[in-house]
């Protein structure tokens, strides 16, 4: 774990500037709960990450504190992987599983984009460990405590993990009951299991008001189908049909323990959900995050498979230990290389507030600390609101939801993307005095092949021609215009 943490810290601090698609929203939560600022983005519960992140920022500052927090919390799903493998498979294999889980490529990506869901994944895994442990050892007070606290914390930490937990945990418990013997079934239906679950639910209930703002239908893109499948060439189909379904089905069929067979059910469920997408933010996050959560049951199922078949067979062969050691060493080298590669690749997509944009924000805060600043992407606007504490409307890549139609019409007017409107009135409606544009959005040098919604040809040229805008900065792809009053 120390080596994995060191690798993460080295990579994070090798990157100059603030990092992450969701980092602005995380800082926004800190600002709201610790300092009383208005929300720059969507309301979040106080541990999302708010109070969890604030000590790191207090100790190390915003940039360094966020990176240290990301390194630590991105490792948390390794804990339930280790505990489940140790208790239900083999203590030696648990180390193997933990090492490879710590180097998971999908979790490397999430460390960059935003590590909070990984903590939610860890809590889901701990719930599985807790209930499975109670079924085996009904007097295990540690398992009961972990189960109650994990259930109680999930909705306070991450909204997406809450949605996943509502789907996964009941199915896991039913599968565990079904695969268990008579004694374990009685344990699972007794107060030993029911009491910590009840306590956890009672802890979770007060978080319900935060979910009203992000319920299905609250943020829906009108032009897309409500639910649809990922494109045929997407890697998720390999995850589903080559990894999750074969391994999950084989594990639930041949697993040697109810908890392991239930993990097979968990993996199958993730494989079935992963290819689906939606145009609603609340729903798409649940489907989309299964691609990353499936890593948790994957490492447990793989550990069982290797322990049951490969490791035993290799050790029986002459030079088996050398073969095993060489294979593990090669796999480790491949995982470490892949981890570093994914980190560097993802930083390109996830740099929502680059150093030039940060410098521009610092200048604007000094010149006009209370003036709103519009941007050309949602995540950058959340960073702007979190850093400068000002209103920050943004340009949409798709047709905006109904509640943002007027805002976007006003912003297009200010940007000189619409005719026959009053830009001064529009700027007043938006409460902005500046436009901050990072020209890498939304297309990202052609890699995403995307354009802003209703943007004219030569869009920033059109903006530059506006008589009510004065260019204050144009450096490294970042442009700032001031709105004349």
State which of 17-21, 260-264, 441-445 shows the largest mean pLDDT. 260-264
Q: Per-residue b/e over 76-105, b at no fewer than 16 CB within 10 Å? A: bbbbbbbbbbbbbbbeebbebbbbbbbbbe
Burial class of residue 344, CB neighbours in 10 A (0-12, 13-18, 19+): middle
Under 8 Å between Cβ of 427 and 415? no
User: Residue ranges per domain, the chain?
Assistant: 2-232+316-346, 355-483
* Strands 372-375 and 432-438, bridge-based pairing: parallel
Could you tell me if 398 and 377 are in contact, meaning their C-beta atoms sit under 8 angstroms apart? Answer: no
390-422, pLDDT tens digit by residue? 999 999 998 998 889 999 999 999 999 999 999
pLDDT of residue 42: 85
Is residue 217 predicted with pLDDT exceeding 80? no
Report whether pLDDT(222) > 70. yes
Secondary structure class of 352 (helix, strand, coil):
coil
Express each pLDDT in 59-81 by its tens digit. Answer: 999 999 999 999 999 999 999 99
The H-assigned helical ranges of 389-445 are 405-414, 423-430
DSSP letter string, 190-258: SHHHHHHHHHHHHHHGGGGGGGSTTSTTSSB-TTS-SEEEPPTTSTHHHIIIIIIHHHHHHHHHH-SSH
The pLDDT, as a whole number, for residue 13 is: 96
Higher pLDDT, 134 or 210: 134
Beta strands in 333-485 (DSSP E): 372-375, 432-438, 469-475, 478-483
Locate 296 and state its tokens. 């948790």
Query: pLDDT over 90 for what percent of the chain?
Result: 81
The confidence score (pLDDT) of residue 315 equals 62
Q: Could you read off the pLDDT of 373-384 as tens digits, one per residue?
A: 999 999 999 999
| pLDDT at residue 443 tops 80 | no
Residue 277: beta bridge partners? 228
Q: In the prediction, which pLDDT does 220 show?
A: 75
Which pLDDT score, from 0 to 100, does residue 349 have? Answer: 84
Q: Compute the average pLDDT of residues 14-34.
A: 93
Q: What is the pLDDT of residue 365?
A: 94
Token look-up 């959560």 returns 293
The conformation of residue 443, written as its DSSP 8-state character, comes to: T
The SS3 of residue 278 is strand
Mean pLDDT of 363-371: 94
Q: How confident is the model at residue 318 (pLDDT cuts 50, 70, 90)?
A: low
Identify any residues that bridge with 227 across adjacent strands, giving them in sequence order.
278
Beta strands 372-375 and 469-475 are unpaired
**154-171: per-residue pLDDT in tens?**
999 999 999 999 999 999
- pLDDT recorded at residue 317: 64
Instruction: Among 11-15, 227-231, 417-421, name the one with the lowest average pLDDT.
Output: 227-231
Asked if 297 and 269 touch (Cβ cutoff 8 Å), the reply is no
CA 396 centroid distance within chain? 21
Give the per-residue pLDDT at 343: 96
The answer, yes or no, to whether residue 57 has pLDDT greater than 80, is: yes
pLDDT at position 323 is: 72
Q: Is 394 helix (H, G, I), strand (E, B) or coil?
A: strand
pLDDT of residue 41: 85
Give which of 120, 143, 118 is closest to 132, Cα–Cα.
Answer: 143
What pLDDT shows up at residue 447? 60
């Amino acid at each position: 774990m120390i080596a994995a943490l060191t690798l993460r810290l080295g990579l994070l601090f090798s990157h100059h500037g603030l990092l992450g698609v969701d980092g602005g929203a995380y800082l926004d939560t800190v600002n709201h709960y610790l300092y009383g600022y208005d929300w720059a983005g969507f309301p979040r519960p106080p541990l999302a990450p708010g109070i969890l992140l604030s000590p790191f920022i207090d100790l190390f500052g915003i940039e360094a504190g966020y990176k240290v927090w990301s390194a630590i919390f991105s490792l948390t799903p390794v804990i339930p992987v280790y505990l489940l493998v140790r208790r239900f498979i083999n203590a030696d294999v648990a180390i193997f599983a933990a090492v490879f889980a710590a180097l998971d490529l999908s979790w490397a990506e999430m460390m960059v984009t935003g590590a909070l869901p990984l903590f939610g994944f860890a809590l889901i895994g701990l719930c599985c460990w807790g209930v499975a442990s109670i079924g085996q050892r009904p007097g295990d007070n540690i398992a009961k405590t972990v189960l109650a606290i994990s259930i109680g914390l999930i909705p306070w930490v991450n909204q997406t993990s809450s949605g996943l937990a509502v789907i996964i945990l009941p199915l896991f418990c039913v599968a565990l009951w079904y695969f268990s013997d008579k004694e374990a079934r009685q344990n699972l239906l007794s107060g030993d299991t029911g009491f910590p679950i009840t306590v956890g639910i009672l802890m979770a209930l007060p978080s319900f008001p935060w979910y009203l703002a992000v319920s299905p239908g609250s943020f829906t893109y009108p032009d897309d189908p409500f639910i649809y499948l990922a494109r045929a060439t997407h890697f998720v189909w390999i995850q589903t049909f080559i990894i999750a379904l074969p391994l999950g089905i084989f594990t639930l069929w041949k697993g040697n323990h109810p908890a392991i067979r239930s993990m097979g059910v968990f993996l199958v469920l993730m494989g079935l959900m992963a290819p689906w997408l939606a145009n609603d933010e609340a729903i798409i996050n649940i489907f989309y995050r299964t691609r990353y959560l499936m890593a948790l049951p994957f490492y447990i199922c793989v550990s069982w498979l290797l322990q049951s078949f490969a490791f035993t067979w290799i050790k029986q062969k002459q030079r088996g230990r050398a073969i095993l050691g060489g294979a593990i060493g090669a796999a480790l080298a491949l995982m470490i290389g892949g981890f570093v590669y994914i980190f560097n690749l993802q930083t390109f997509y996830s740099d929502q507030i680059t150093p030039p944009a940060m410098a521009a924000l610092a200048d604007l805060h000094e010149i006009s600390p209370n003036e709103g600043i519009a941007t050309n992407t949602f995540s950058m606007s959340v960073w702007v609101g979190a850093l400068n504490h000002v209103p920050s409307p943004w340009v949409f890549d798709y047709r905006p939801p109904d509640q943002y139609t007027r805002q976007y019409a006003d912003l297009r007017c200010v940007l000189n993307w619409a005719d026959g409107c009053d830009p001064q009135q529009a700027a007043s409606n938006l409460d902005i005095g500046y436009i901050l544009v990072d020209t890498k959005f939304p297309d990202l040098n052609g890699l995403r092949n995307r354009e802003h919604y209703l943007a004219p040809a030569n869009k920033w040229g059109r903006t530059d021609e506006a008589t009510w805008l004065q260019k204050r900065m144009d450096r490294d792809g970042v442009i700032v215009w001031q709105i004349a009053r």
